[in-house]
Amino acid sequence: MNGYFRLVNGEKMSALRLFPPKEGGRPVTINDVAEYLTMKNYACDLPAIKRAVETAQKEETEIRLNTQTRIAERECYKLTITPDKMLAYAKFYAASVGGENMTPQELVHDLSLRGIKCGIKKDEIIKFFQKRNYCEDILVAQGKDPVQGKDAYIEYKFNTDKKAKPTLKEDGSVDFFHLNILNHCTKGDELAVLHPAQPGVAGSTIMGDRIMPADVKNVTFNYGHNIEKSEDGLTIFSMVDGHVELVDGAVFVSDELVVENVDNSTGNIDYEGNVQINGNVSTNFQVKAKGDIMVKGVVEGAYLQAAGNIIIARGMNGMGKGVLKAEGNVISKFLENATVESKGYVSSESILHSRIFAGAEVNVDGKRGFITGGRVCATGSVNVKTLGSEMGADTIIEVGADPAVKERMKQLQQQIAEDMKTLQMVQPILVSTKQKLAQGVRLSDEQIKYVQSLVLANEQKTNALTKANKELEELQKQAENPADTVIRVKGMVYPGTKICIGDVSMIVHKTSHYCRFIKDRGDVKMMPF
């Protein structure tokens, strides 16, 4: 039991009687006493009370307050409510000698009069009145926190990670035949399950104010052909044998087209699904696929475009006109005199006199593992064994700048300039017209129509300008803060090689081994690997 105190109001004086704690309770403090006396408008001698409090830690003691006669004081309490109105504490003070005690019912009624409507802790209140442990904060009311709901989400039953990479065989070559990056499915396979949103439950303050949970987000299935939905709408299934993939949040199942070669016997190919070519792709032919393109032979000076990955097991000799464009990754045993545009990574054993643009990274591994001549650009890193050549072939390596982002930034800057020019022409006319109307000038029907068209144009251009500026700002942040912008050379880099990281560059002047290039304080620096 805590130490406590009580008033003694006699006929000729008022005094304060202090009691020591029992059974490990907390002793009364000078703050407890001063707070109570102030609340009851009793003058007090703090030094004298302090001495009495110190004595009361071990034994009962009494201190005279004044010579005034006052009526007996009832048991009372001090109520403290937290700023968020979620908790209320009561600190109780003993009645004076001859004073009345409170009842639990009286306290509950008093709390309601003070506006506390919810979360009254009746058990805690009864517990106090059973033991009456004074000078201690008792939790008498507690609000209810809202229960947050759960957003809806889709559980995909296939691998949605498109970062699968070829593995190196024991002899150091790259295994292009066992990539395991395609998700095969059969008719009736479960593809995805939609887990519906679970709404939250509102909470409340002790004053009865509702606290609403955050809104939950709903999602819906987005899918293409060859897919059916269950009766309850929560599951989708494949209707055919084929491959399943997730593209921009949509599930697609496609059949696979298999041909021996792409040449005069087939003509150009434009297919909705995956395309597998068991042989070669001849010069000047085109292969377009809404899925992946797999070529087991060689690609010559051809044009290949895929919404997924492009895989060439034996490599590509582009002859200066061959082009590979992939929304996913490009994997080829070698790339020579070719142009490659990949929104994912590019992986090869060697790159010779080619133009490479990768939205992620460029990895040149295997036995040879060299990049010689041409230009290789990657938003992320470039990892290579040998960079440049002894013959001084012009070799440019760029990281940290997505060509697509750069092009979009250029387009936005042009659009912003044009919109600003239009606004600078329109707004003075609108201001002048407003002034004329204020002066009582009447406009003809034709003039009114013209002004209305200007108002519409001003609104449209202003909205477009705001949107363009926001997108440009986001792209600038993306360009300024690339993820992993480093060039790693596991073997040798030759003089004459140009290294570009973001907006800074350098020329390698001497042969170096086992190193990496990074951007540091506005410069490109070569560091140990």
Strands 242-247 and 250-254 turn out to be antiparallel
Q: Which residue has the tokens 């597998």?
A: 276
pLDDT of 353 over the 70 cut: yes
Give the number of C-alpha atoms closer than 13 A to the C-alpha of residue 294, restricted to the C-beta side: 18
366-394 average pLDDT score = 91
Evaluated on CA atoms 470, 471, 472, 473, the torsion sign reads positive
Confidence category of residue 482, pLDDT binned at 50, 70, 90: low
Q: Which pLDDT belongs to residue 236?
A: 97
Say which amino acid occupies 166: P
pLDDT of 40 over the 80 cut: yes
Q: Which pLDDT belongs to residue 271?
A: 84
Rounded Cα–Cα distance for residues 244 and 235 (Å): 15
SS3 content of the chain, % helix, strand, coil (to 5): 20, 35, 40
Give the number of C-alpha atoms closer than 13 A to the C-alpha of residue 317, restricted to the C-beta side: 8
270-291 average pLDDT score = 91
438-448 average pLDDT score = 86
Residue of higher predicted confidence among 72 and 501: 501
Strands 310-312 and 330-332 turn out to be parallel
When computed from its CA atoms, the radius of gyration of the chain, rounded to whole angstroms, is 40
Say which amino acid occupies 86: M
Q: What is the pLDDT of residues 169-193, one digit of tens each?
A: 777 777 766 666 668 888 999 999 9
Confidence category of residue 508, pLDDT binned at 50, 70, 90: very high
88 DSSP β-pair partners: 81, 141
CA dihedral of residues 310, 363, 173, 367 (deg, nearest 10): 140
Residue (of 80, 107, 41, 44) closest to 18 by Cα position? 44
Q: Which pLDDT belongs to residue 483?
A: 54
Which range, of 34-43, 107-116, 191-200, averages the lowest pLDDT? 34-43
Q: Which residue has the tokens 């995909």?
A: 156
Rounded Cα–Cα distance for residues 35 and 17 (Å): 16
Q: Which pLDDT belongs to residue 512?
A: 94
Provide the b/e sequence for 218-250 (b: ≥16 CB within 10 Å): eeebebeebbeeeeeeebbbbebebbbbbbeee
Residue of higher predicted confidence among 419 and 175: 419
Evaluated on CA atoms 107, 108, 113, 117, the torsion sign reads positive
157-162 average pLDDT score = 86
Q: Which pLDDT belongs to residue 311?
A: 97
Confidence category of residue 403, pLDDT binned at 50, 70, 90: low
Q: Which pLDDT belongs to residue 199?
A: 95
Q: Which pLDDT belongs to residue 368?
A: 86
Q: What is the pLDDT of residues 45-88, one digit of tens each?
A: 888 889 998 998 899 999 888 767 677 889 999 999 999 999 99
Mean pLDDT of all residues belonging to the chain: 90
Alpha-carbon 518 to chain mean position: 27
pLDDT of 479 over the 70 cut: no
Confidence category of residue 487, pLDDT binned at 50, 70, 90: very high
Domain map (residue ranges) of the chain = 405-480
Q: Which pLDDT belongs to residue 122?
A: 93
Evaluated on CA atoms 277, 313, 403, 468, the torsion sign reads positive
Q: What is the pTM (predicted TM-score) of this model?
A: 0.57
Rounded Cα–Cα distance for residues 386 and 366 (Å): 11
